[in-house]
């Protein structure tokens, strides 16, 4: 299996990348990032690119892949509503359009979030909900709605991790970062398409991946 990962420098995406590199079913893990990854691995093929609305210069990253794992995101508290929509919706749609052109049979996995609702009055929830619907319409995306992701120790996640781990017994509230990656790979092998998956089911899929 060949996968392309967005957001590999972040907490969730970094964990998903490590799960892919460790998986026996992944032959090649590609990444598109704005800056080089501080990681070297024989399975890893990295592309550094700046314009996330136009991926034509790195179109080769989309060729012949089985899944695109879109883990890129930003907190709604850190950017304006327009920038939040651009990062959440427009970047994802740009990637999905190129995936459709270069690997039309590939799965598209989009990390959304618990509490996402297309008609919500809350900006981030509404934008993510609209993005889910647009991606499902365009490429039959699988949209994941995790609660607390116990991922790589990046930025503010370093402070949040001890709190996250208190939630581990609660299946609807916690998912380990690498387990999340394993769930995405498992969903790809099971040929899941056009679905919304909440946290409890994410853990169930991850458990199937370990069998």
Show the tokens assigned to 186: 């498992």
What's the CA gap between 139 and 59, in Å, rounded?
Answer: 17
Q: 98 or 169: which carries more pLDDT confidence?
A: 98
pLDDT at 152 over 80: no
What would the pLDDT profile of 113-139 be if each residue is shown by its tens digit? 999 999 999 999 999 999 999 999 999
Task: Give the pLDDT mean for 84-110.
Answer: 98
Tell me the percentage of the chain whose pLDDT exceeds 90: 86
Q: How far apart are CA 143 and CA 195, in angstroms?
A: 6
DSSP sequence for 20-54: HHH-TT-SEEEEEESS--S---TTEEEEE-S-TT-
φ, ψ of residue 202 in degrees (nearest 5): -55, -45
The predicted pLDDT at position 159 comes to: 61
Tokens 């996250």, located at residue = 164
pLDDT for the residue 161: 66
**Which of 43, 108, 35, 113 lies closest to 74 in space, CA to CA?**
113
For the question of whether the overall pTM of this predicted structure is more than 0.85, the answer is yes
Angle at 76 between CA 50 and CA 11, to 5 degrees: 60
């Amino acid at each position: 299996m060949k996968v392309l990962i967005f957001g590999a420098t972040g907490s969730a995406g970094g964990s998903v990348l490590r799960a892919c590199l460790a998986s026996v079913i992944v032959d090649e893990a590609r990444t598109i990032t704005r800056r080089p990854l501080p990681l070297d691995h024989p399975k890893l093929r990295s592309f550094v690119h700046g314009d996330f609305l136009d991926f034509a210069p790195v179109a080769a990253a989309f060729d012949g892949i089985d899944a695109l794992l879109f883990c890129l995101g930003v907190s709604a508290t850190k950017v304006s509503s327009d920038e939040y929509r651009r990062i959440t919706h427009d970047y994802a749609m740009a990637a999905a359009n190129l995936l459709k052109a270069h690997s039309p049979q590939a799965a598209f996995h989009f990390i959304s979030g618990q509490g996402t609702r297309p008609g919500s009055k809350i900006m981030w929830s509404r934008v993510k909900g609209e993005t889910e619907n647009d991606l499902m319409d365009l490429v039959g995306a699988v949209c994941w709605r995790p609660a607390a992701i116990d991922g790589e120790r990046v930025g503010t996640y370093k402070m949040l991790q001890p709190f996250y781990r208190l939630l581990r017994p609660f299946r609807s509230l916690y998912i380990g970062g690498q387990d999340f990656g394993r769930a995405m790979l498992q969903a790809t092998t099971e040929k899941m398409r056009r679905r919304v998956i909440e946290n409890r089911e994410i853990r169930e899929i991850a458990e199937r991946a370990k069998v």
